[in-house]
Amino acid sequence: MSSTPYPNAPAALVAFEIRFPQADGDRRQIQAIASSLHDTLPIAKIEHIQQFQFPVGPNPEATSIEVTRFQTRDRTSSASVWPDRVVVETTKYPGYNSFRKLIEEVVSVVASSVAPSGIERVGLRFVDEVRPPVEPTGLEWRRWVAPELIGPASLNFQGGAPEAWQGAVQFSVANGVGVVLRYGPRDGYAVNPEGALRRATTAPYTSCFVFDSDSFWVATDSIPEFDPVAIMNLCDELHRPLKEVFEQLVTDELRIYMAGEAK
């Protein structure tokens, strides 16, 4: 998760999200965004997202929200405009510097077209699907991920081999930044290949070890203005702990494989 990623980096999805007080969007604003992003994200699609509220009583209330997604032609990167947030995503992570340029372009366009009244939450998320050259099972993951992530799987219950486990931990970082890490082995994919974005690569097998890292900042005492410069500075603050955490999650053997140096 460095500025220049490993050739065999396991990033399956990288996402940036900024939430703001709900804006009264209209088609003119969406058209202005489409025009400004046309060279970078030329394909526009309208999606209807179901959201559920659970008031007192047995029946949840469902509402449909219209979301406009702007995509690259290969459908590996997009920006989604919601009434109360903007999400920038990619399944083809080019490194932080390149992804940051996309975020900065989208944030600047939203600032001029929608003009949100403030910032409520900013988040940067990496979903890594670790797949070494040989498919591990159970405790074999110790070759590839930090021993702290094996945890209770190393316990012996009458010789039974561990099949699956999950863990989560939250860290408090400087300047009001928090980091949540969820981890564990699983079959299948953490990022749906049939989702809105096309997977950039095809996995050699379906089992993987997932690192789901979310670095975030939440407004507390006051809601700051929607300032693109301040937002990008905050994005940099969110990236720093994620880069550091990732390097602590992997072993030297996996690092050699990710660098393309394995024999």
**In a domain? residue 37:** no
- Any residues with CB less than 8 A from the CB of 251 and at least 6 apart, and which? 142, 143, 144, 145, 146
Nearest to 200 by CA among 41, 103, 89: 89
**In a domain? residue 33:** no
Alpha helices in 43-124 (DSSP H): 96-113
At 6, list the tokens.
Answer: 């490993």
Nearest to 138 by CA among 187, 71, 182: 187
Full pLDDT tens readout for the chain, 263 residues = 444 578 889 999 999 999 999 877 678 899 999 999 999 999 999 998 876 555 655 666 667 788 999 999 999 999 999 999 999 999 999 899 999 999 999 999 999 999 999 999 999 999 999 999 988 988 899 999 999 999 887 776 666 677 788 999 999 988 889 999 999 999 989 999 889 999 977 777 788 999 999 999 999 889 999 999 999 999 999 999 998 999 999 999 999 999 987 65
Specify the pLDDT at position 176.
Answer: 87
**In a domain? residue 48:** no
**In a domain? residue 202:** yes
**In a domain? residue 3:** no
**In a domain? residue 113:** yes
Specify the pLDDT at position 159.
Answer: 64
**In a domain? residue 54:** no
* Residues spanned by the domain of 156: 11-25+75-258
**In a domain? residue 199:** yes
What is the pTM for the complete model shown? Answer: 0.90
Alpha helices in the chain (DSSP H): 27-36, 96-113, 228-249, 252-258
* Tally of domains in the chain: 1
